[in-house]
Amino acid sequence: MVGYIDNKEAILKRLRRAEGQVRGIQRMVEEDTYCIDVLTQVSAATKALETVALALLDDHLGHCVAQAAAEGGVVAEEKVREASEAIARLVRS
Amino acid sequence: MVGYIDNKEAILKRLRRAEGQVRGIQRMVEEDTYCIDVLTQVSAATKALETVALALLDDHLGHCVAQAAAEGGVVAEEKVREASEAIARLVRS
Amino acid sequence: MVGYIDNKEAILKRLRRAEGQVRGIQRMVEEDTYCIDVLTQVSAATKALETVALALLDDHLGHCVAQAAAEGGVVAEEKVREASEAIARLVRS
Amino acid sequence: MVGYIDNKEAILKRLRRAEGQVRGIQRMVEEDTYCIDVLTQVSAATKALETVALALLDDHLGHCVAQAAAEGGVVAEEKVREASEAIARLVRS
């Protein structure tokens, strides 16, 4: 079972919207839209993806990491390390 | 003329790839892929959009802002202010 | 007990270095150092602070959150929510 | 002449405040302050440094880059390239 099982539809909805935003940006570029207006939409799409990432991370901590922590041992440590690395990738992206 | 006129095809190619990445993430979520693997792809898509933004910004500075600066006056100041605001949105997204 | 108890000295050392970097930037500004060179140092200091944040977060997940998760219940949920909010602040800063 | 010459005092004031924040975080760590509260302050200090960077960049575009653009030629191109690289470092930090 994945951590986001209960939020799957909400996450898919957000991702579809982000996909639509990226397609919209392509149309803007094809139509020679002013650079700054294109950039504003790129920032919005980036923010939308970040929101998806934060939702996935919250679910992951609340389910996968929490469950591993309850069981303890090496697996628990491994899950925390893995989550920390994902957070680092997110902060640096 | 927009700043990215000479890089239009390269920018569209990057955007199409980013769209494909976002669609790939949807498939991963539909197939209950492990949270961390989904997150890795979200970080990659975010980074791809950032690269598009930086390319657009570089073109904008090198063409639109540079041209306005060469003409000087209020329009030049306005262009710089506008570019600075776009950079701020990017840094904070 | 705080999560970073075992890494306290390492974290303080990093913070002292970051403080030194910020002081160095002040000196650069006072001496009218070229903008781009000042900016490079500001980016380096920002990155140093982010590294501190990621270390604190890793310790927090591995100790405070893991312990609360092992105990379960409302406190565990609250700890995850709190950690997620801290991660969101970090990603958006 | 550096781009931030007219905002030097404002920038120094912000940097001194950021330095104070970093010193405050050290005190929090020495006193074993709760991880999440330390993290909140690290995010605030990071944001403060970003604000300094955006101010420096705005001044740099409005003065150094604008002036080079008005003169044109290779120097103008070089200034834009240099500014774009500084923006990329900022976005990725």
Whose tokens are 């997940």? That residue is: C61
* Block residue for tokens 């959009």: B49
Question: Both tokens of residue B26?
Answer: 């949807």
Whole-model pTM: value is 0.95
Nearest chain B CA: its distance from D25 CA (Å): 22
Domain range list for chain B: 5-92
Which residues neighbour D57 within 8 Å (Cβ) at sequence distance 6 or greater?
B84, B87, C35, C39, D83, D86, D87, D90
> What single letter denotes the amino acid at residue D78?
E
Q: Which residues of C touch A6 (CB under 8 A)?
A: none
Q: What is the DSSP string of D10-42?
A: HHHHHHHHHHHHHHHHHHHHHTT--HHHHHHHH
At A1, the pLDDT band (50, 70, 90 cuts) reads confident
pLDDT at residue A39, as a whole number: 98
Who has greater pLDDT, C15 or C93?
C15
Chains that touch D (3 or more CB pairs under 8 A): B, C
Is D5's Cβ below 8 Å from some Cβ in C?
yes
Q: Nearest chain A Cα to C77, which residue?
A: A62
Q: Quick one: pLDDT at residue A19? A: 98
Which DSSP state fits A31?
A: T
Q: Is the per-residue pLDDT at C7 higher than 90?
A: yes
Mean of the pLDDT values across residues A66-90?
95
% of chain A exceeding 70 in pLDDT: 100
Give residue C1's pLDDT. Answer: 81
pLDDT level of residue C47 (50, 70, 90 thresholds): very high
Q: Which of D62, D76, D87 sits opposite B66 (nearest CB)?
A: D76
- pLDDT for the residue B93: 83
pLDDT at residue D84, rounded to an integer: 97
Residue B37: helix, strand or coil by DSSP? helix
Contact residues, D window 54-73, toward C, CB-based 8 Å cutoff? 56-57, 59-60, 64
Average pLDDT of span B65-90: 95
> Has residue B31 got a pLDDT over 90?
yes
- Chains touching B (3+ CB pairs < 8 Å): A, D
Average pLDDT, chain A: 96
Judged against a pLDDT cut of 90, whether residue A84 lies above it is answered with yes
As a CATH number, domain D5-92 is 1.20.58.1000
Question: Interhelix angle for B35-60 vs A73-92, to 10°?
Answer: 10
Chain D residues within 8 A of C32 when measuring between CB atoms: 1-2, 5, 8
Judge whether A84 is closer than 8 Å to chain C, CB to CB: yes
ipTM associated with this complex:
0.95
